[in-house]
Structures are given as structure tokens and as C-alpha cells.
Structure 1
Amino acid sequence: MRRQAARVVRYVVLGALACAQGAWAQEPAQARPATPVPAAGSTVAAPAAVAIEPAEIPFASAHAASVRTPSAPTAWGGPRTGSEATLSDRVVSYRIQARLDPAKHTVDGQQQLTWRNRSDRPVGSVFLHLYLNAFEGEGSTFFTERRVLAAHGGSRGVAEVKKGEWGYIDLGNVEQDGAALKWRYVHPDGGPDTDHTVVRVDLARPVPAGGSVTLDMNFHSQLPRVIERTGYVGKFHLVGQWFPKIGVLELPGERGATEPRWNVHEFHFNSEFYADFGEYDVRMTVPRDYVVAAVGEQQGDPTPEGNELTWHFAQADVHDFAWMAAPGYKTLEGEYTGPGSPPVKVKVVYPPEYEASAKPVLKATIDSLGYFSSTLGPYPYKTVTAVVPPFNASEAGGMEYPTFFTADSFTEVKPKTLDEYILDFVTIHEFGHGYFYGLLASNEFEEPMLDEGLNEYWDDRMLRERKQRVYLTKPLWQFFGVEAPMDVFALERMFALLPRPSDPLGQNAWDRLSSADYGTVYSRTATAMHDLEERLGKDVTEKAYRQYYATWHFRHPSIADLQASIADASGKPDVVAQVFDQYVYGTARIDDRVKEIVSEEVLPLAGTTIKNGHRVELSSEQNDEAVSKQREAWKDAHPDAADGTGPFPWKTTVTVWRDGARVPQTLKVSFADGSVEAVHWDDDRRWARFVFTKPVKGTSAELDPDRKIYLDANKLDDSRTVDANHAASHRWGADFAALLQGLYAFLVTL
């Protein structure tokens, strides 16, 4: 949720090989090691009597990251114009029947999965994600990486797992047209043998090019106590990544692929998900007093079955399905109508203790529908459901699925407070994923910037449009004079680790220095895109993102596709390339500063000169006397003259220094009479010196006066004054003295 330096993480020795990786589906109690395979299997379609060894389809690279080659125009079936029979090019369908045991926190399911082979060759093996096995024990790739990455920076998902709180998914029988299939665990990223998050299923008959295969399977999911994204707390169940889910077969011209490849990474600690669009038809049986909310549209009223109810939800043109179930939850409903969208039923499902959060979440969701629809493209679905997690389930909050997300929770939400900002921001952010993760369906494994980063940026734009600022004020802060609310982009740059970025923004989710450095996918992307917007202009930027969305929604764009869309729409490919080369593909830093400003009078100089053909000498004493007389005469003539003015001109010299990457800068110099001059500095010089000769003294110099360059690692050195100003230090000194005086007075009373 970070490249090769972190690969060693996966090879940490975790213990005995008794928990070996490979197990045939028919022999779960006799798990035996299976050699990790470098590629999946496929075969040429042929009569049953002709045995043809399948050609291997390779995995995407274990270190795949930002793609630099734009996808082919026909990738993923070409742009969706709206005239097609379906919103997306549906590749897969799931029909699932699930039963929740709320006491054991388990889900037993039967699943029928139908997958279409988009490639030009037969496929003899398919690969399934068993994401829930990330939580089965400390031997998973998830936990292996957690020990290293979280130790070098704060992260969510680091709670201690106690006895009985682990989660897993057991895959049972898998059949193709009644024929039992063999499957085994594999490790596409070279992870530990004890990781069981990906399985290979060998088909009884290959899927021909353009053909489809239907697999029937059963599974048993043990939900973990909420560690990250999914699980239970008490009677509350957030059921995410709970079913066997097929990987993505990418074709040449798609996200940099030059041949067919299986994109089916292990579940890494900081990564999220990537899947094909398709259809979901899901029935969930739960206790009669439980409330269910889920991805998609509810199909009629729940059906009674003894002491249980079966809820039915369906949704097409999405790439995931999640749901929640809990007793005692309430519902608040609203509706959004907007150009190009169907009427959207908006629902907030919440526990009674967090009723104060329901209305703000509903309003922020409806506002988000309007903003994202108008700035990117119309929302195409008929529902949005937000879930407020209960007390003690914060790790279940802030998670997104198509048409369905979890928000934050507060017992009280006062206007213009930090709590109000957090609740609004989390709601807007998780809804926004419905566009960048949902509709654009970027690969969150390999290019998390396209989801977390771009979404964060667009969320901040919406908050800016709402004129919503961050209120950090607390009584102690007020004592020290910190009262003004903060700009949302100013807050982002505070967490962007700008002085020393460790990884390019376009890096994958797991090959990163630490979880804290992964966190800059959010903040540094938002900051970089803010600065790019300042260079392109607000209207041009929105035009570019509308084009990006129009071209790539219901497909799977890469970073190169984003760059191409912005470059084409803006007409400034060089500017876009510079920003992407420096920050998306590289780790450039910016740190420009005003090194020095000096303003001196240009006085007559002592020495010899030639006048009327004769050399005359002016001594220092004579020169000083003449200067004094001129000053006195000028003061008599200008009794109200301001400081910094006089009979002689002033030469102001400003030296600027560049410690990082080149970025176009504006230098503003202010003078004693209130006038200003601005010059541009946009070259590769490490330092530059600018000289201004004017009738008045220079007073200050400032780089980036309009605050357009948020990527600058240190904004405090962007300006200098000619004369020292001690007001700030005096204020802080006085405040500290008052604090001490109050402390001493308190001690005297003891």
C-alpha cells in the first residue's frame, strides 16, 4: 500500500518446512512441497486423443513496476464508447452461495466461476488468488514483509494476532464439467514456501482461444479478527477478499506486455488488488437479526430460511465483491441524480453508537458523486453503500470496493474540527477509489500510484473546491499562536518525505524501503500532481484527466497511459515528461533557496578621474564630505522620505541556490517604496545571482511567491530579508517566559 532492495524480505527463514507450499486439492492433510513454477500452463486445443504438452505462459515479473510504454489503442478491447452492449468487456463471472457462521466467524461457499480466454492461444492452467491466506500465519508473504517494512515506519495492519484470531481460506474440490482438477500453491514473486495466497489449477481440457471455461468449487473461509481490510470484531463482519478469485491474463500491448502473461502476484503487505471486470451474483445466508450490505444492488427482500435470511446481491461491470453483516445496524438513505448517471441510491449503514457520523458520511458521499462525475465522468452504477465500522474496529474503516466502502467513525462531529475533516476526507477518499481503483481498474500491485496517489490528489482538489481546510487547533497550539486552518495540499507535503525520497512514485507496492516510504504514494503523488497542475493550469489539468478517464475507464491503464493522456490533452509533453521523469520514474528532490540578499547604496567613489582633459583626484575624506552634503540636502527637500530612499541609487543583489532538481522558479524582490520586480529562473545552474539597481533599497527576496511548488523540501528558506526581523523570536521568547512564570506561580501554591 513498495524495488529490488526489498526482495530479501521474502527469503526470511520462517521455520520448519512442515507447512510446505504445495498441496493437491484431494490431499489437504498430506501437503507436500511443490517446486515453484516459473510459468503457468496452456495447451493447444486438440482432440482428447492427442496429448500436446502445454506451452508455458510466464508470470509478470516479481518486480514489475511503473510501465513506460503506452498501451496499444486496442488494449482491453479498445475504449468503451457507451454504445457497447455492456459497460465493460466482461471477462469473468462469479455465482456464489455463502453461509456465515457468526459464532465461528466463518463463511462456507460454493462458487461457479466462468472465465473467458481473451488470448490467441489455448490455456491449460489458470491461477487463483486465495487472498485470505495472507492472515493464516507468520509464514505468509504478508507477515514476512510486515516484520521488516512496518519496523522501519508506521503502518496500519500491525496489530498483534492472538490465538484463535488468524484467518485463512481452504480451497476444496475444483471441477471442470464434473472432472476433478488438481491444484497446488505457487509463488509468482518468489515468496516463502509458506505463502499460500496463489494456486495453480490444471485444467482437464484447455480453454481454446476465445473460448470459456466454467469451474465449480467449494471453499471454507475463516475470517481473521480485523487486522487489515477484512475480518470480524465482536458480531461485526467485514467480508473482503474472501473467495477464490482468478488472476488476470494480460495480452501484448496491455500495460507494457509483449507476450501473454499471468498477472497474479502474491498478497504483499502493502499491496492491494487487480482483477478483470465481470459479473457477480452472490447469495449470503446469515442469522435473521443480521443486517447485510454489499457491493451492487439488492435483489428483492431477504428470503427467510428458518432462523436465517438469505440476502441476494448482483452487480455487473465490477472486479470485486465484498459485504458486511452485523446485528443492530441502522440505515440512512439518500439519492444522487446527475447528467449521464442513472439515479443513484446512496446508503449509509451504521451502528447506533456512531449515529453522529451517518449524516456527514451521507452528505460527503453525495457531494463526491457530484464532484467526480463532473470533473472525471458520470458515475455509471445505481448504488453506493458506505459502512461505518463499530467501536474497536478501526482497521475495518477506510477500505474500498466497487460501489461499497467503509468510512471512519466518530461519536461527535463538530464543525471546523479535525474530526469533521477526517470523517469527510476518509469518506471522499474511499468513494474516490470507486473511480481510480474501481472504474479505471489500475493495477494496485504494480502501480499503486494510479489509485492511491491519483485518488488522494483528486480528493484534495475536491476539498479545495469545497473551501474545506484542516483544523489542527488545540488549546496548547493556540497558546503558541497556531490558530489558522491549514490548506489540504500543505498538509500533504508535510507527510511526503520530500527531503530524501527513497523510491520513485511509480514503484510497485512491495519493493520499498519501509511502510512509511510506501505512504508517500499518497502524499508525494498528490504533491507532485499539484505542482504539475500549477504548471499546466487548472482547466487544462481537468481536461487532461477527463480525457484519461474517457479513454481508460473499464480498462486497465498504466502510468505510461496516464502520462500520454496528460501530455496529449495539455499540449505540453515536455513539461509532463520532466515531471514524470523526475518524480514518477525517479527520486528527484527540490530544494531551492534564497542564499543571500544584499542592498547597498551606489555612492560616488574616491580616486582619480579625467575631467576636461585633466586628471583630478578625489580623496576619501572629500568624497565622504560630498556624500554627506548630498544626503543632508536631499533630506531637507524630502522630510517625510521613507527609509531606504535617498539621493543615491541602490544596488540589490540576490543569490539563489539549487540543491535538487531543476524546476521553473519565480524570484520576487521587494523594495522600500512598495514596488516589486519578478524574474524567472529556469536553467541548470546550481546557483544564480540577480542584480537590481533602483532608486530605492531592496528589502526582501522570495522564491515561489505564489506557493505553486509544494515539492520543495524546505519552504522556510525560500525567502530572506535584508534587515533581520526578530519579531518571531521575541514572540516565542515572551510566550516561553509567560509559560515559565505560570509554572512558577503554580509551584508556589503547592
Structure 2
Amino acid sequence: MLLALALVAGLPLSARAAEPAAGPAACAAIPLAGRDAAAVATPSAADAWGGPRSGNEATLSDRVVRYSIDAALDPVKHTVAGKQQLTWRNRSAQPVCSVYLHLYLNAFEGPGSTFMTELREGNDKFRSGVDVKDGNWGYVKLQDVAQDGAPVKWSFVQPDGGPGTDRTVVRLDLPQAVAPGASTTLDIEFFDQLPRVIARTGYYGSFHLVGQWFPKIGVLELPGERGATAPRWNAHEFHAHSEFYADYGEYDVRITVPKGYTVGATGEQTGARVEKDGKVTHRFVQGDVHDFAWTADKRYAKPLVGYYTGAGSPKVTVRVLYTPEYENNAKPALDATIESLEYFSRTLGPYPYRTVTVVIPPHNADEAGGMEYPTFFTASSFDEVPPGSTTRDLLDFVTIHEFGHGYFYGILGSNEFEEPMLDEGLNEYWDQRMLRAAKRDIHLGTPLMKKLGIDLRLPVFDYERLGAMTEHPADPLGQNSWNRMSGGSYGTVYSRTATTMRDLEAAVGTPALERAFKLYYARWKFRHPSIADLREALIEGTGQRSTVERIFASQVYGVHPVDDSIASFSSSEVLPQAGYVQYKGKRVELTSKAIDKAVADKREAWKKAHPGAKDSEGPFPYRTVVLVRRAGADVPQALLVKFADGSSETARFDGTRPWQRFTWTKPGKAVSVQLDPDHKVYLDASKFDDSRTLEGNGSVARRLSGQFASALQTLFSLLVSL
């Protein structure tokens, strides 16, 4: 009865006091990052996060935290019993009396979490397509927290103003303040009830993907780091569209499972497995990462193993875990991972770790697919993956994409809460560049269509453009992950960022763009860059400040569609006109009849002199007029006009004026006009209105920049409706 009354009243159910206890009097409270935190505009200080990592330091990152965890899986009840020692260093210049932990699994404990509330109120299934049924919920419970043997009080907080029943962030009030530069160790006992696999974590049968499963400390940001002007805690609730952000450190994790279970995890397996009472303990250790995930299943086949050796990297062992029904997925996933290791190492910087573990989710566990953790990720799984098929393209792309997160989310520790474009968006762009370099198109046809001889495919960035919300973008690319119009708008973090970066590459040139991204990676690896830090690296690396700032202002910090079009196009002969003219000092009237006869005589004489001339050629010049309309952001574009005699004229259309008129007077008639003839602008809302032709120019190819993608989109919509 008490439980029912509390639920009806909407009261938070907590084992501890709902109000935070007062900390030591000497401690000044450190605020949390605001609920509206998003695109940072001020570049970080040069010494942020300890300054750039030269490679000569003792460790790859400036390790702030260390986790030593013992975890025991009960695969029947789908629970994890955990004991954790969390050692955290205070980088700030002031004492710290309270710290914040993420308890991500509580997103799945019931309808009162921020995650579930946002899914319900927004009817939004972007992250999760599974409805939670009775008995399938999950949670993490703090059982005991102590600092040097003294009990620690805690309370749940909602930094982003979520419901008071959300318990994904907890504040710990420490008995002993942590002095500047000092470290403290917290002994934490916790218990996980894993959910039926949802939003990339949980179980299905004997399969367990254990992600975001342990109490994880938030990030204390200092002045000059990601726009901070004073120390602040960065610890947001787990939103339906958010992912993660954490400090670099070291993980030493012992995982105990029943004998017969295969385990895969972040990092390197260390030491001999310890068997006792029918259970086996596996130890995994990894430094210079900011998260840890693992999997266990008694159905896994013998892992498929491969290796990568490349300049600047250690020998990398790639291990693919899969269940027997998806054996045909293992080799393609292994090959795509090794190819990704080569491409990302060559174009950004060497892969620094010794392992990559790839998980192919089993049947009915699709929700576990497509998720990244340091040195560990899940791909997708398909019944058939023949070369040149849509399913093979999807398997390859998901594998490349999840590996790529190891760079943009892993090595470049982006804040996925506040600036998701730095991970999801930039990673999507680099993935598509990898496919483009390999001359890989996206196959879009069905097996039936292939049998009928219809081979539909798209270049990768034409495919990406389809999801970029080019016509009516809703949110700036730099917006945070949760404050967005819809799941579809959040989805444009991927496609619209990739399309924007592709347009930037077209504007500044590929060599300059590649140089800039290598600079960004070298400067910010094992740190936590902001959007402003990316912007400055792109400016410095390309040497084209105005272009970079224009694109960031209109697309990253702002949300302006690009919508240019050919409004009108004409090319007409310039003929003598009736009226008075001055002739030998006298006013003489040229009548229409006289002009018509003179024009006819001149044309007849010209044809006799030019018997092979085309209809579009003659004794009189042509006046060509093109009117271009601009209904969106200023994007400099080229305008190409072709004439019947084979000549052409090029003009530049830029500025914020809503229209511009271009005119030429030439001997020949114009036959076509094309905006963006070099296909540089993929953000344009429609490419159908970028070109026009005049009748009678059958010899002229009708070049419709990017319209292949739009035409196919229409075709697929039709096919789906049949």
C-alpha cells in the first residue's frame, strides 16, 4: 500500500535521504554543467587537460581515475554483483567535498527515469526499438560506499531538470575533502539487474552485453577546458539521445562467470584464468581509456582472430565473437576491422592499443548491435551477407562506424552529451571517406531487384545526403543530444554533419582538409576537445578562416538551410528595334516593316555565307539572362552557362542577397545553365532546381547535380508503397 501511494504521489523512492547532506565547511560547492550546455564557442586553453600529449609521457593520457572492479555474473538471474575501488585525483586548485557518479543502468529501472520519460513523451524510438515487458527492467543499486572506511552519504540529483524519480546521477558527500592535487579512494559495493537487451546493453538468453554497468565518476572540468570559466562538474542525466563522457584512467577488472562461458571485454586479458567451484575468473586490464564494457555467452563459437601491424602501432590482436548462426558474419567483420585499423591509422594517427574485440550479436539480440566502447564494440548481424549486397554493405559500414568511434569517442574523448557531432558526426564523415577512398558505393536494391537485373546503388555521400534534413533542418549541429526537436533531428547529427564536412572539404580542398584533421587529432588525442577546438584546428590546418567560420556559423552554431535555385533562364537574339534614330545629323524613323526586311536580308546573306550553321547561330548576337534565387545561407557557388558554339561562361554567386541576375551578350545562344557544376554543395535543399536547359539543345547533356540520389529516393518511396 505504501509503495502504491508513493508511486501515485510521484515521490522518489530512495534508500537514502533525498536532500544532499552538507559538506565540510571548508569546501566551496562546485556547480554542475547547465542543462542547456551545448556547442562551445570559446577555444580551450593551450594547457587544458595537461596540454597536448607528445608521446614522450609515461602514459598516453593524463590518468585521472583508476577502477579496480570484481564482477560476478549470474547468467540465470542476469545479475552482476560488483565490488569496486575507485581512485580519483582532484586536478583543481580547491578542495572537493562532493563528487558525482553516473548510474546509467537506472535509465531502465522504470517509467520514472529521464530516459523512459523522454521515450514515452516523445514517442521516440531512435535509441531503442524494444518495448520493456514485465520482468525485463534493469537497474544498478548502490549497496555501500566508504571513503577510507568511513561511510559516505549519497543522494540522487537531476542536473538537467529531469523528473525527480530519475536516478542516473548520484551525489556523494565525502567525509573527508579531497585536497588540491590529492587523490581519494572510494570502496563501492553495487548490484546490477541487467535489463532484457535495450539501448545497447542487457541480456537475451545466455547472451550478456554488459555496458554502462558500474558506478562511474563524472568529469571535473577546470577553467579553460571546454568553455569552463570556473571549476564545474560535468555529469548529465542519461537521456534517450545521449551517450557518454568520462575521464581517462586505468581499468583492472576481474569478471567471474560459470565455466563454459566465453568472455570478451575492453583491454587485454591478463594472467591465467582462475577456476574455482565451477566458475572461472577472467582479468582484463587497460590504461588510457574512459570506459569499460564486456560480454559473456556460453553459445559463442571459437573466436575468429586476426592481426594488424602498422607503423606507430603495437601489434593489434583483433578478436571476433559470434554465435554459430552468424558464422558467415565473422570474417567480413574481421576484414572490415583490419581495413579500418589501416585507414584510421594512416589518415588520423596510429592506433595506440593492443586489442580490438568485435561482437556479432546473436539472433533476437539486435538491440545490442552498433555500440562502441574503448577497444570493444558490437557490430550487426545478418542471415546472409554476400558481396555486393545491401546486407553486406550494412555489416561493413556498422563495423567501420563502431570501430571509428574508437578514435572520435575513444582517443579523442569527446563529450557526447553536449557536443555529439564531435563523435557521431565526425565519425560518420570519416567512415564515408574511407568507403569513398575504396570506391565503395551503397547497394540499395533488394534480392528480387537484383534477380531482375536492377542494380541500384548510390555514392556514399549521395546516400548520406538523403538523411541530412536539407530542406528544413531543425537544430544546429552543435546542439546537445537531448534538447532536440525529435529523434529524426538527432539523427541528423550523423548525416548532416557528414554532409557539412564533405561540403567543407569541397570548399577548402582535400589536402587542406586532411592536414587539418591530422592536426586536430595530434593536438587533442587523450584530451577532451570542444567544437571550438575543432573549429580552430580546421582554420589553422586549412589556412582558410573565412570559409571555416562561415560554415560553422551557419550550420554548427546556427541552423540555416542552403537553398539556391535557378529562377529563370533565357537566351534571345538582340535585334534592331523600331523607333527614331540619329542618322547623318537627322532624326530618322526605323519602321517595323523596314527592320523586318533588313533582318531577313541579313539572315539570308549570313546563311549563304555559312551553309552548315545551326539554328542557334546567326548574324545577330544573343543576350543570355540568368536569375538565381537564394532562400537560405550564404554559400559561394559557381554558375556555369554553356553555349551552342561550345563556349561557356562561369560566374560566382555569393552574398546574402536573395537574388542575383547575370547577363552575357555573345554570338551564340545559351543552351544550359548549372549551379554548382563541380558538385561541391550537398547541403542544398534540392538539386532539381540547380539547372535548366533551353529547348532544342538535344546535343547538350542534362547534368543534374546530385539528382540521382533524389530520383532514387522517390523510386524507393514508390516501391515501399506497392
Structure 1 contact 150–515 (Cα < 8 Å) conserved: no
Cα deviation per residue 1:488-535 (whole Å; 9 max; x = unaligned)?
111111111111111111111101111111111111111111111111
Q: CA deviation at 1:392?
A: 1.1
Q: In the alignment, what sits opposite 2:270?
A: 299
**Equivalents in 1 of 2:168, 2:314: separation in Å?**
38
- Choose which of 642, 666, 669 in structure 2 pairs with 1:697: 669
- Choose which of 574, 589, 608 in structure 2 pairs with 1:617: 589
Q: Are 2:516 and 1:544 aligned?
A: yes
Structure 2 contact 221–232 (Cα < 8 Å) conserved: yes
Q: In the alignment, what sits opposite 2:400?
A: 428
- Superposition pairs for residues 519-558 of structure 1, below 5 Å? 519-558=491-530
SS at match of 2:626: strand
**Equivalents in 1 of 2:587, 2:163: separation in Å?**
90
- Choose which of 131, 143, 163 in structure 1 pairs with 2:134: 163
Q: In the alignment, what sits opposite 1:86?
A: 59
Q: CA deviation at 1:254?
A: 0.7
- Superposition pairs for residues 188-227 of structure 1, below 5 Å? 188-227=159-198
Q: In the alignment, what sits opposite 2:430?
A: 458
Q: Are 2:418 and 1:446 aligned?
A: yes
- Choose which of 210, 216, 220 in structure 2 pairs with 1:239: 210
- Choose which of 115, 121, 137 in structure 2 pairs with 1:148: 121
- Choose which of 221, 228, 232 in structure 2 pairs with 1:250: 221
**Equivalents in 1 of 2:193, 2:696: separation in Å?**
66
- Choose which of 326, 347, 356 in structure 1 pairs with 2:297: 326
**Equivalents in 2 of 1:41, 1:526: separation in Å?**
47
Q: CA deviation at 1:148?
A: 2.7
Q: In the alignment, what sits opposite 2:285?
A: 314
Please give the TM-score of this superposition, normalised by the length of structure 2.
0.93
SS at match of 1:358: helix
Q: CA deviation at 1:643?
A: 3.2
- Superposition pairs for residues 89-100 of structure 1, below 5 Å? 89-100=62-73
**Equivalent residue letter for 1:552:** W
SS at match of 2:425: helix
Q: In the alignment, what sits opposite 1:184?
A: 155
Q: In the alignment, what sits opposite 2:602?
A: 630
**Equivalents in 2 of 1:718, 1:125: separation in Å?**
58
Q: Are 2:488 and 1:496 aligned?
A: no
Using the TM superposition, name which of 554-563 and 676-685 deviates more. Answer: 676-685
Cα deviation per residue 1:552-590 (whole Å; 9 max; x = unaligned)?
100001111111111112112121111111110001111
Q: CA deviation at 1:326?
A: 0.6
Q: In the alignment, what sits opposite 2:46?
A: 73
Q: Are 2:678 and 1:706 aligned?
A: yes
**Equivalents in 2 of 1:617, 1:18: separation in Å?**
93
Cα deviation per residue 1:416-451 (whole Å; 9 max; x = unaligned)?
221121111111110000000000101111111111
**Equivalent residue letter for 2:276:** E
Q: In the alignment, what sits opposite 1:341?
A: 313
Cα deviation per residue 1:449-480 (whole Å; 9 max; x = unaligned)?
11101111111111111111111124787899
- Superposition pairs for residues 331-410 of structure 1, below 5 Å? 331-410=303-382
**Equivalent residue letter for 2:12:** A
Q: CA deviation at 1:484?
A: 4.8
SS at match of 1:696: coil
Using the TM superposition, name which of 606-615 and 100-109 deviates more. Answer: 606-615
Cα deviation per residue 1:396-423 (whole Å; 9 max; x = unaligned)?
1000000000001122212222112111
SS at match of 2:396: helix
Q: Are 2:117 and 1:127 aligned?
A: no
Please give the TM-score of this superposition, normalised by the length of structure 1.
0.90
Closer, same or farther in 2 for the Cα pair 1:719/1:479, shift >3 Å?
farther
Closer, same or farther in 2 for the Cα pair 1:65/1:637, shift >3 Å?
same
Q: In the alignment, what sits opposite 1:740?
A: none
Cα deviation per residue 1:621-654 (whole Å; 9 max; x = unaligned)?
2221222232233333333322311221111111
Cα deviation per residue 1:53-91 (whole Å; 9 max; x = unaligned)?
521111111111111111111111111100101110001
**Number of residue pairs aligned between Structure 1 and Structure 2:** 694
Consecutive unaligned residues of structure 2, counting only runs of 5 or more, are: 1-5, 703-722
Structure 1 contact 502–517 (Cα < 8 Å) conserved: yes
**Equivalents in 1 of 2:332, 2:447: separation in Å?**
25
Structure 1 contact 22–186 (Cα < 8 Å) conserved: no
Q: In the alignment, what sits opposite 2:649?
A: 677
**Equivalents in 1 of 2:386, 2:325: separation in Å?**
16
**Equivalents in 2 of 1:17, 1:258: separation in Å?**
40
**Equivalents in 1 of 2:618, 2:263: separation in Å?**
80
Structure 1 contact 42–123 (Cα < 8 Å) conserved: no
| Identical-residue share of aligned pairs (%) | 60
Closer, same or farther in 2 for the Cα pair 1:475/1:353, shift >3 Å?
closer
Q: In the alignment, what sits opposite 1:110?
A: 83
SS at match of 1:431: helix
Q: CA deviation at 1:609?
A: 2.4
Closer, same or farther in 2 for the Cα pair 1:698/1:478, shift >3 Å?
farther
**Equivalents in 2 of 1:400, 1:41: separation in Å?**
38
Structure 1 contact 98–107 (Cα < 8 Å) conserved: yes
Cα deviation per residue 1:665-715 (whole Å; 9 max; x = unaligned)?
100011112322111112222111111111111111110011100111111
**Equivalents in 1 of 2:523, 2:203: separation in Å?**
39
Consecutive unaligned residues of structure 1, counting only runs of 5 or more, are: 1-13, 25-31, 44-51, 729-750
SS at match of 1:562: helix
Q: In the alignment, what sits opposite 1:516?
A: 488
**Equivalents in 1 of 2:220, 2:188: separation in Å?**
21
Closer, same or farther in 2 for the Cα pair 1:62/1:724, shift >3 Å?
farther
- Choose which of 579, 587, 590 in structure 2 pairs with 1:607: 579
**Equivalents in 1 of 2:670, 2:680: separation in Å?**
24
Cα deviation per residue 1:257-315 (whole Å; 9 max; x = unaligned)?
11111111111110000000000011111121111110000113422223221111110
Q: In the alignment, what sits opposite 2:717?
A: none
Alignment RMSD (CA, Å): 2.0
**Equivalent residue letter for 2:630:** R
**Equivalents in 2 of 1:706, 1:569: separation in Å?**
23
